[in-house]
Structure 1
Amino acid sequence: MARVAIIGAHGKVGQELMRELYDAGHDFVGIARGEEHAEDVFRLGGEGVRLDLEATDAATLAQAIEGCDAVVFTAGAGGGSGVERKRTVDYGASVLSVQAAQAAGIRRFIQISAAGVDDPTTETVVPDEQWVAYVRAKRDADAELRSSGLDWTILRPTTLTTGEGTGLIELAESVDRANGSIARADVAATIVAVLDNAGTAGKQWELTGGSTPIAEAVARLS
Structure 2
Amino acid sequence: MHVLVIGANGTTGKHIVEKLSNSSQHIVRAMIRKMEQAKDMEALGARPIVADLEQDFSYALEDVNAVIFAAGSGSKTGPEKTTAVDEQGAIKAIDFAKEKGIERFVMLSSMGADLPLQGPKGLQHYLEAKQKADQHLLTSGLNFTIVRPGRLTDDRGIGKIIAAPSIEDKSGSISREDVAEVLVEVLLIESVYHQTFEILGGSIPIKEALETI
| TM-score, length-scaled by structure 2 | 0.95
With over 3 angstroms needed to count, the CA separation of the structure-2 counterparts of 1:37 and 1:177, relative to structure 1, is farther
Per-residue deviation, 1:198: 2.5
* Inter-partner Cα distance in structure 2 for 1:116 and 1:211: 22
Aligned residue pairs, count: 212
1:142 aligns with 2:134: yes
Per-residue deviation, 1:210: 0.6
Per-residue deviation, 1:132: 1.8
1:111 aligns with 2:110: no
Name the structure 2 match of 1:153. 145
Residue identity in the other structure for 2:183: I
* Inter-partner Cα distance in structure 1 for 2:51 and 2:39: 12
Query: Share of identical aligned residues, percent?
Result: 36
1:181 aligns with 2:177: no
Per-residue deviation, 1:28: 0.6
1:48 aligns with 2:52: no
Q: For structure 2, which runs of at least 5 residues remain unmatched after alignment?
A: none
Q: For structure 1, which runs of at least 5 residues remain unmatched after alignment?
A: none
Per-residue deviation, 1:199: 2.7
Q: Deviations for 1:107-166, whole angstroms, at most 9, x for unmatched residues?
A: 31000000022124533x2x33xx221011001100000010000000000011102100
Residue identity in the other structure for 2:125: A
Name the structure 1 match of 2:187. 195
Name the structure 2 match of 1:24. 23
Is 1:113–1:155's contact at 8 Å kept on the other side of the alignment? yes
Is 1:16–1:185's contact at 8 Å kept on the other side of the alignment? yes
Name the structure 1 match of 2:35. 35
Q: Deviations for 1:38-84, whole angstroms, at most 9, x for unmatched residues?
A: 33211111110111111x22xxx332221212100000000020010
Is 1:29–1:65's contact at 8 Å kept on the other side of the alignment? no
Name the structure 1 match of 2:6. 7
With over 3 angstroms needed to count, the CA separation of the structure-2 counterparts of 1:35 and 1:170, relative to structure 1, is same
* Inter-partner Cα distance in structure 2 for 1:9 and 1:120: 26
1:73 aligns with 2:69: yes
Residue identity in the other structure for 2:9: H
* Inter-partner Cα distance in structure 1 for 2:151 and 2:172: 6
* Inter-partner Cα distance in structure 2 for 1:132 and 1:192: 28
